[in-house]
A and B are shown apart, each in its own frame.
Chain A
């Protein structure tokens, strides 16, 4: 029975939020709460010579001022346990101890009775710095003269890996009739939830217990970090996640500030709260991408891919984030570069380079954004070289549905999908042939129109819902990967479930209620889902990696089975039958083959109430679920753009997504995820960029400077669905949280490149802001402009062998 799953029911979360009755972190303020402010480094790289907090600590309302060495006496730095080869461990103190490594790094904590007074007092702290040279780009950080950020990481390499599928890669390139090269730089960006980060801690001296409310995506991982750092048993730490105003990966890391407020609360015996402001958020919440990549593809004359190779380097910032370390972007990009295509031979070299910038963490589509951007640019370049239609080259190389499970050269095993079907549907939806005809006509007319039509296709596959084996294999030992659920049959016959995964806007309270309702064949109104309080929910991993539906549904299924098992003897007793003759049916248990002779959940609940203790133990159960290594969602995006070559403005005329996240639990929620994720991808390709100047000052530290798209900048996003079930997950579900962000940059970049193709220029750097598009157009004067469409061979393609080899051959 699939009564609730698949239906677009309104979200149960919404009424509260619409009335302004949500309770976000900064809305919480227990009696006696003190407020924290941080003094942050104004230098990108500097030795801290001295900290003078004399006048700060006697300022009105101040109860505590702590610097790094003082804090170290109260709490241990976090150890990010990464066993991945090529990964270097560096020390990351919660507050700067001797050396500040990025602008915005917390140096001193000030706690006062009022947030205004805490900030006043923070301004009175005098810090004497001895500035050091700073590096903010991959190239400068790897230069001979570069200052070394960490003694443990000579050359500033925090992570590096070289992998080849086999020994044939270079020979295949040498023998290949054609090759294409793409050089790309994706800027540094950030998730930018509209709610900033925040944490509130309270210490119960009598019970020796710590409670921390945090707007985190990973409550149990935070609990572990707090326990380690404050040297407490995990059972003495409770983490509660209130309503979260968006996460997108930014809140999936464990941050020093979350630990520091807990230390302060324990030290002072009072609740202590820190609510981040936007400037702090841009300076010190996790950043992402900042990747430069050179990639090549070798193919035969029909466009069949023979091999790929790539050199990837990411500026990962001053430290590896806890618990993921410095490998998120570098490894994610490398491992997904083959994308949805059959690539027989592949080699990559990838590095995570330490820079004087805020540490990189997870941000929607981690790694896969740049991987998709690159493989999709490669396909288009290959098509241009061969004078083939880019859609045809994709069709030729997409992994056919009959080939699943499909092992990629990087060791991923794609479980299922309908890649070619998604492409055909998207092409049909935009009337692709008509668009190409319109484009040819507009180009051949020799028109003086300053608007150029471009069509960009993006096909991708993404790993979602990863289980424990994935994180073990990656060497990320502090990330569990599994998920457990607790389910109780309430005395009124309702069902309450509790899971660790927080509510960050993704609507799990509704979609998991739909799943649970169907497990017990009851109406959704009869079930309730409670989230993210480590005192109530069994262990889980959190809301990241598009895992909520996969891990949550799996855990609920396991718990539902267990609860039904526990109820069986009681039902048998009530029905005066042998347990083997009783089975679960709609809303209760009945005699096998006789649904009319049964007992409802409400009756069973009353039975539990009356029954002996043995039965009472059956009231609630917990069960754990370990998702598969990964289940792979996929999609095709097509963008149709008009590029104004005089102003550099890009107008998105159509935007179509055909997505496949397996069976859909709630269509409105799935579409909402696709909308929001796609919008973030569009922001990343057209507007967003965190810019450090050469001295390491962040010059985009406000929303006036870091531009996220508004309602007028975004197109209508048209969505169509395929529902290819995963053979590996409960319900066949795949994750959907990140896909839009993965697909959009490639679609828009390809569309702009297509629009500008007659000018003989190509796209190699994002964001494609009006200034950058104008710069590309101006390049035209330096390049002999071919006159025809995408079938031309632009100058940049000349001699890709020479251009690419030195970078991508292993040294």
Chain B
């Protein structure tokens, strides 16, 4: 192993509204950095080759597969993980609420990736059809639900978000105030 690959580099990120700093070898995957160095184990790894979507987080507001990125590539960027989705300990994000209400999760392992993918999708497509939702979710795998209730939960979340559009913003601004 060459020195360049194993020399640790400093990485600074904003994660869920807070500054965080860590050190990692250049080869360390962003998924591993988030889970091990930032201690945010809600980001899951299901395949480490970019297919399942379980490792999805938002990087500068865009969904990325953290198993396909190195931690050093996130240096200086803004991350939102599932832990930062709910406005606070007493409140869930409307997408989380909808998943709970419509039984959109079983084992819950794929769920964080779905929640973050849906957050971005609904921000851009507030009133999708069922078919459109299925297409939007086609990059995330779930082995438990057959997607039935994930699709229903997404449509329900869209409905909630449309009825109280300030929810979406509240969720992200409140996050920054957490702790």
Interface residues, chain A, CB within 8 Å of chain B? 10-11, 13-15, 17-24, 26-27, 29, 115-116, 120, 191-196, 243-246, 248, 277-278, 504-507, 668-669, 671-672, 675-680, 702-704, 708, 710-712, 714, 716-717
- 10 closest A-B pairs by beta carbon, nearest first, are A20-B42, A245-B109, A505-B107, A679-B146, A17-B108, A20-B82, A505-B106, A703-B51, A27-B41, A675-B146
Interface pair B148/A675, CB less than 8 Å apart: yes
Q: How far is the CA of A29 from the CA of B109 in the complex (A)?
A: 18
Q: Give A277 to B51 CA distance when docked, in angstroms.
A: 13
Given known A-B contacts A20-B43, A278-B46, A678-B146, A711 and B106 have beta carbons under 8 A apart: no
Contact A672 B145 (CB under 8 A): yes
Cβ of B163 to closest chain A Cβ, rounded Å: 20
Q: If A703-B49, A710-B141 touch, does A195 touch B147 (CB 8 Å cutoff)? A: no
- Residues from chain A with a CB closer than 8 A to the CB of B129 are none
**Which residue of A is nearest B49, CB measured?**
A702
Partner of A278, one of B48, B112, B143: B48
Q: Contact: A17 with B105, CB < 8 Å?
A: yes
Bound CA–CA A27/B108 (angstroms): 14
7 contacts between A and B (CB under 8 A): A15-B100, A193-B109, A278-B46, A505-B144, A676-B145, A679-B143, A714-B148
Does B161 have its Cβ within 8 Å of any Cβ on chain A?
no
**CA of A597 to CA of B150, assembled, Å:** 49
Is the beta-carbon distance between B82 and A195 smaller than 8 angstroms? no
Chain B residue contacts of A15, Cβ below 8 A = 92, 100
Q: Is B27 an interface residue (CB 8 A)?
A: yes
Main SS at interface, chain B: loop
- A505: nearest residue on chain B (CB-CB)? B107
> How far, in angstroms, from A277 to B54 measured CA to CA in the complex?
13
Given contacts A20-B112, A116-B27, A704-B51, A243 and B107 within 8 Å (CB-CB)? yes
A22 touches B108 (CB 8 A): yes
Secondary structure type dominating chain A contacts: loop
Do A18 and B25 touch across chains, with their CB atoms under 8 A apart? no
Q: Which of A18, A27, A678, A710 contacts B96 (CB 8 A)?
A: A18
Residue-wise interface mask of B (138-156) relative to A, using a CB-CB cutoff of 8 A (1 in contact, 0 not): 1111111111111100000
* Closest residue on chain B to residue A123 by CB atoms: B1
Q: Is A711 touching B151 in the complex (CB atoms < 8 A)? A: yes
Which of A191, A668, A711 contacts B147, CB < 8 Å?
Answer: A711
Given A195-B44, A702-B49, A711-B134: A19 touches B108 (CB 8 Å cut-off): no
- CA separation between A243 and B142, bound complex, in Å? 16
Across the interface, do B138 and A116 meet the contact criterion of CB distance under 8 Å? no
| Known pairs A14-B99, A15-B100, A710-B138; A506 contacts B106 (CB<8 A) | yes
CB of B137 within 8 A of chain A? yes
- Alpha-carbon distance between A485 and B135 when the two chains are bound, in angstroms: 44
B48 touches which one: A191, A277, A504, A672 (CB < 8 A)? A277
Chain A residues within an 8 Å CB radius of B145: 672, 675-676, 679
Question: Most A CB atoms within 10 A — which of B42, B46, B86, B139?
Answer: B46
Distance, CA A669 to CA B103, complexed state (A) = 8
Interface assignment of B45: CB less than 8 Å from any CB of chain A: yes
Q: A711-B151, A712-B138 are in contact. Are A676 and B103 (CB under 8 A)?
A: no
CA distance A668 to B54 in the complex (A): 24
Which residue in chain A gives the minimum CB-CB distance to B152? Answer: A716
> Contact between A13 and B108 (Cβ–Cβ < 8 Å)?
yes
Q: Is B15 in contact with chain A by the CB < 8 A criterion?
A: no
Instruction: Give every chain B residue within 8 A of A13 (Cβ-Cβ).
Output: 108
User: In the complex, what residues of A have CB within 8 A of residue B150's CB?
Assistant: 711
- Report the Cα distance A21→B46, complex, angstroms: 17
B110 at the interface (CB under 8 A from A): yes
| Interface residue ranges of B56-104 to A (CB < 8 Å) | 81-83, 85-86, 92, 96, 99-101, 103
Chain B contact patch, size range: 35 or more
Partner among B45, B103, B140 whose Cβ is within 8 Å of the Cβ of A26:
B45
The complex places the Cα of A507 from the Cα of B100 at a distance, in Å, of 12
Select from chain A the residue with minimum beta-carbon distance to B83.
Answer: A20
A26→B135 CA distance, assembly (Å): 30
Interface centre among B82, B101, B108, B150 (most CB of A within 10 A): B108
Within 8 Å by CB of A17, from B32, B49, B111, lies: B111
Closest partner residue, chain B, to A120 (CB atom): B1
Complex Cα gap A24–B107 (Å): 10
Contact of B160 with A by CB under 8 A? no
B146-A245 in contact (CB<8A):
no
Q: Which residue of B lies closest to A28 (CB)?
A: B41
Contact call A20/B40, Cβ cutoff below 8 A: yes
Contacts A194-B54, A708-B141; A27 near B1 (Cβ below 8 A) = no
A19 touches B107 (CB 8 A): no
Q: Which of A19, A676, A708 contacts B83 (CB 8 A)?
A: A19
Q: Is B174 an interface residue (CB 8 A)?
A: no
Q: Chain A residues near B1: list those with CB within 8 A.
A: 120
Q: Are A194 and B110 in contact (CB under 8 A)?
A: yes
A506 and B96 alpha carbons, distance in the complex (Å):
19
From A21, A116, A668, give the contact of B103 (CB < 8 A).
A668
4 extra interchain contacts, Cβ-Cβ under 8 A, other than A193-B107, A672-B149, A703-B51? A18-B86, A18-B92, A27-B35, A704-B51
In the complex formed, the residue of A with least CB distance to B147 is A711
Closest to B109 in A: A245
Docked Cα-Cα span, A384 to B45, in Å, equals: 49
Contact B82 A703 (CB under 8 A): no
Which residues of the other chain, B, contact A26 by a CB distance below 8 angstroms?
A: 35, 41, 45
The smallest beta-carbon distance between B156 and chain A, in angstroms, is: 13
A23 CB contacts on chain B under 8 angstroms: 41
Contact call B86/A703, Cβ cutoff below 8 A = no
Q: Is the CB of B144 within 8 A of A717?
A: no
Chain A residues within an 8 Å CB radius of B47:
278, 702-703
**Quick check: A193 and B28 within 8 Å, CB to CB?**
no
Q: Is B115 an interface residue (CB 8 A)?
A: yes
B171 within 8 A of A: no
> Are A18 and B143 in contact (CB-based, < 8 A)?
no
Complex contacts, A20 vs chain B, CB 8 Å: 40-43, 81-83, 85, 112
Q: B11 at the A/B interface (Cβ < 8 Å)?
A: no
Chain B contacts with A in 105-125, Cβ cutoff 8 A = 105-112, 115
Q: Closest approach, in angstroms, between the C-beta of A811 and any C-beta of chain B?
A: 42
Contacts of B106 in A (CB 8 A): 246, 505-507, 672, 676
* Chain A residues near B35 (CB-CB < 8 A): 26-27
CB closest residue in chain A, given B43: A20
CB nearest neighbor in A for B136: A711
The distance from the CB of B26 to the nearest CB of chain A, in whole angstroms, is 11
For A29, what are the chain B residues with a Cβ–Cβ distance below 8 Å? 36
CA distance A116 to B48 in the complex (A): 14
Kindly identify, within residues 10 to 44 of chain B, every residue whose CB is under 8 Å from any CB belonging to chain A: 25, 27-28, 32, 35-36, 40-44
Whether A245 contacts B107 by the Cβ 8 Å rule is: yes
A639 to chain B, nearest CB (A): 14
Q: Which single residue of chain B is at the shortest CB-CB distance from A666?
A: B103
Q: Within 8 Å CB of A675, what residues of B?
A: 145-146, 148-149
**Cα-based distance from A711 to B99 in the complex (angstroms):** 16
Pairwise interchain contact B144-A676, C-beta atoms closer than 8 A? yes
Closest Cβ of chain A to B160, distance in Å, is 14
B28 and A116 form a contact (CB under 8 A): yes
CB neighbours of B111 from chain A (8 A): 17-18
8 Å CB contact of B109 from A14, A24, A710, A714: A24
In whole angstroms, what is the CA distance A679 to B115 when docked?
Answer: 21
A192→B143 contact, CB < 8 A: yes
Instruction: Say whether A702 contacts B42, CB under 8 Å.
Output: no
Cβ contacts under 8 Å, B82 to chain A: 18-20
* Contact, CB under 8 Å: B44 / A245: yes
| B135 CB contacts on chain A under 8 angstroms | 711-712
Say whether B146 contacts A676, CB under 8 Å.
yes
Is B144 a contact partner of A246 (Cβ separation < 8 A)?
yes
